[in-house]
Structure 1
Amino acid sequence: MNDLQPQTANGESDGLQLAPDSPHANFGHSVEPWKLLIVDDEEIVHAVTHLALDSFDLGGRGLEFLSAYSGAEAREVLREHNDIAVILLDVVMETDRAGLDLVHYIRHELKNKFVRIIMRTGQPGDSLEQEVITKYDINDYKEKTELTRQRLFSVVYTSLRSYSDLTALEINRKGLMKVIESSAKIFESRDISAFSEGVLEQLTGLLYLGNDAVLINASGLLARSGIERLRILAGIGKFKQCQGEVDFTNFDEEMAERIKYVLQHKKSNYGDNYWVSYYVTKSGLEQILYVSARDVFSVPDIMMIELFVKNVAIAHETIAMLEGGQ
């Protein structure tokens, strides 16, 4: 077994430990592909784009191609999919300005500021270029003839990077706002769940994690007749509806085994795409944070997760002390 022992401020080890080598230590996880919308009235453009980007991969995620052959069709697709990352958009389709009208619809009616829009024109030297760049909120303007396979790959790659950064910042912003609102009332309302949920959203956005995370209070863990129970403080993603006291049957087998391992060894552990953080306060309050990630965790990620668990545990302990003193 490999051990990683980060030091606390007083020089003591937190006992951070890798998960043991076992059938459950490393396993794959599915991630949704990036959605790319091709809007063009020429069938050949769709076919060539598919061919050029067929093996595309960013962060372990491929591409899901969506197609529209007019501005009107594109509107329908956009209404059905609110998570499209990149649009390759023709300027001239059913009208000379169909592409520009669609940009206006996306930015002003749908109020979607995140999707990256790459305008493509089949008319070299198009006089619209300067107007488009200065008056419309697009991210690039290219002639179809200059978009070789390599250049198309580069444009889509950088656009997806930008989209990923923007959406992560937005998740972090919303989480931070929720934390601010909740922390202002935390000692007044003693609502640790609302506070924890907000910080979970902030943490997962900041670390570019998958949006599945759950914060568990394991203090006073019961073990009667083989039934083990946990108290859920907050959850996001697939754990959003998981609240109150639960037993391990509420989780899948692999997740349950990871949590049991942490409780048994009193140490955090992680694998390729998950992290189970453990912290215990001076009064004996135990808390566990379970998060799933798209990529392997870095050391800065680990330190931030550990700090988060420690701060929430201390806040929870403070509330418990206030309640006990009443």
Structure 2
Amino acid sequence: MMDDDSLDFLDEDDTETGPVRAWKILIVDDDPDIHDVTELALTGLEFNGRGLQFLHAYSGQEARDVIAAQPDIALVLLDVVMESDHAGLDVVEYVRNVLGNRFIRIILRTGQPGQAPEIEVITRYDINDYKHKTELTRQRLFTTIYTGLSAYRDLMALDANRRGLEKVIDASARIFELQSLERFAQGVIEQLCALLFLEDDAVMLHASSMAAADCEPALRILAGSGRFQSLVGSDASEALDADTLSKIHKARDEGRLIFQSHQIAAVQSAAADQGSFVVYVESDTPLEEAAQRLVEMFCRNVSIAWRNLRSMNRNQTDAGDAG
């Protein structure tokens, strides 16, 4: 077991990572040539270590169907005039007011600016940019997409952080309920992923303080996201792959935070009679030094909260046994 002041990083030369998800970009225009030119102009663009996946719609109705079916679209390049003079504006109304999607970045494009006056559109509709097709050179299109994706990433991270914080607060309020530790664990990994702009996989494991001869203590998965979500409640030694387990065991055995190119295995301890827990995260991109320090500070604070939760649960159990 390690104390709260002994967190450390151990660099490893491990660069293996899973498939990287692309940012979804929806191109909406009734002119097929616009789709081809736009996709060609954006070829090779990456943001935050992730490329682009292009989706296509050729009418306002098609756009509504695609966005409703795929709510994780990050940005839409939306023509104003298609099957009607206001088809694009109708899509904006549908996305914002019917679907309630406030995250997707909407860039209006028009080849007929007189059909939809810029000032009126910007003040009336919840759009994020308004461009004339003639002004969107390759360089300006790059800038527009990059800025839009940056805003989308930040909004999604803030929302994930809010949802994670709600779970932690709820766990504190419901501390005497059976699932409080599990809910707290789920909130922790959601906040950590949001903190680092991670949208991939994280798992929190609980290592019991009881050991049997010639065998490892049991590891039970308390919370998970991404590829670990379906494993909650399972024995980690049976549910996790050998590579993931090796990183987790290394963190627990050495009592330190293991940072590798795309993975984090953070071990935190409570008092000797309260066990320890491990947080394991897989990211799309390597973490910079500043992000590593952020993980360290986050884990220190989480350790204190975890110890308090465990103490309160133990006190409740003791009180129940005495009664």
User: What's the TM-score, normalizing by structure 2?
Assistant: 0.89
Moved more, 143-152 or 174-183: 174-183
Q: Which 10-residue stretch deviates more, 239-248 or 75-84? A: 239-248
Q: Is the 8 A contact 1:32 1:61 kept in 2?
A: yes
SS at match of 2:231: coil
Change (3 A) 1:78 1:269: same
For residue 185 of structure 1, the aligned residue among 163, 174, 179 is 174
Deviations 1:38-81 (A, max 9, x none): 10011110010011001110011111101111101111211221
Give me the TM-score of the superposition, normalised by structure 1.
0.88
Report how far residue 224 of structure 1 moved: 5.9
Map of 1:4 onto structure 2: none
Tell me by how many angstroms 1:263 deviates.
Answer: 2.3
Distance (Å, rounded) in 1 between the aligned partners of 2:116 and 2:233? 62
Which of 72, 78, 85 is the aligned partner of 2:67? 78
- Match status 1:57 vs 2:46: yes
**CA distance in structure 1 between the partners assigned to 2:244 and 2:228 by the alignment:** 12
Which residue is 1:3 aligned to? none
Instruction: Write the distance in 2 (CA, Å) between the matches of 1:127 and 1:247.
Output: 58
Residue in 1 aligned with 2:285?
295
**Distance of 1:244 and 1:301 partners within structure 2:** 28
Q: Relative to structure 1, is the Cα distance of residues 81 and 158 closer, same or farther in structure 2, using a 3 angstrom cutoff?
A: same
Matches within 5 A, 1:204-283: 204-220=193-209, 222=211, 229-244=218-233, 246-283=235-272
- Secondary structure of the 2:50 match is coil
Q: Tell me how far 1:255 sits from its aligned partner.
A: 0.3
Contact 1:228/1:248 (CA < 8 Å) preserved in 2?
Answer: no
- Which one is further off, 240-249 or 96-105? 240-249
Whose relative contact order is higher, 1 or 2, with alpha carbons under 8 Å and at least 6 apart? 2
SS at match of 2:77: strand
Partner of 1:134: 123
Of stretches 192-201 and 103-112 in structure 1, the one that deviates more from structure 2 is: 192-201
Structure 2 stretches lacking a partner, 5+ long: none
Q: Does residue 101 in structure 1 map to residue 93 in structure 2?
A: no
Q: Which amino acid aligns with 1:304?
A: M
Closer, same or farther in 2 for the Cα pair 1:257/1:221, shift >3 Å?
farther
Greater than 6 Å deviation, 4+ residue runs: none
Alignment partners' CA distance in 1, 2:28 and 2:153? 21
Distance 2:208 2:87 in 1: 61
Query: Is 2:294 the counterpart of 1:305?
Result: no
Distance between the aligned counterparts of 1:311 and 1:241, measured in 2?
28
Between the aligned partners of 1:124 and 1:79, the Cα distance in structure 2 is: 27
Deviation for aligned residue 1:265: 1.8
What amino acid does structure 2 have at the position aligned with 1:17? F
Work out whether residues 286 and 313 of structure 1, in 8 Å CA contact, stay in contact via their aligned partners in 2: no
| DSSP-derived class of the 2:120 partner | helix
**Structure 1 residues 276 and 305, CA, compared in 2 at 3 Å: closer, same or farther?**
farther
Secondary structure of residue in 1 paired with 2:202: strand
Partner amino acid for 1:209?
Answer: L
The unaligned stretches of length 5 or more in structure 1 are 1-6
Question: Percent identity between the aligned chains?
Answer: 42
CA shift digits 1:173-204 (9 cap, x unpaired): 11112222221111355621112212322222
CA RMSD of aligned residues (A): 2.2
Q: 1:322: Cα distance to partner? A: 0.6
Q: After superposition, what is the alpha-carbon deviation per residue over 1:260-314, rounded to whole angstroms, capped at 9, x for unaligned?
A: 2122222220111111111222325221111122333323322233224413431
Partner of 1:176: 165
* Equivalent residue number for residue 17 of structure 1: 9
Within 1, Cα distance between the matches of 2:113 and 2:234? 65
**In 2, are the aligned partners of 1:103 and 1:137 still within 8 Å (CA)?**
yes
Which structure shows the higher helix fraction?
2
Name the count of aligned residue pairs: 313
C-alpha offsets along residues 210-249 of structure 1, whole Å, 9 cap, x if unaligned? 3421111113364567576312222222222323350423
After TM superposition, the structure 1 stretch with the greater mean CA deviation from structure 2, 137-146 or 71-80, is 71-80
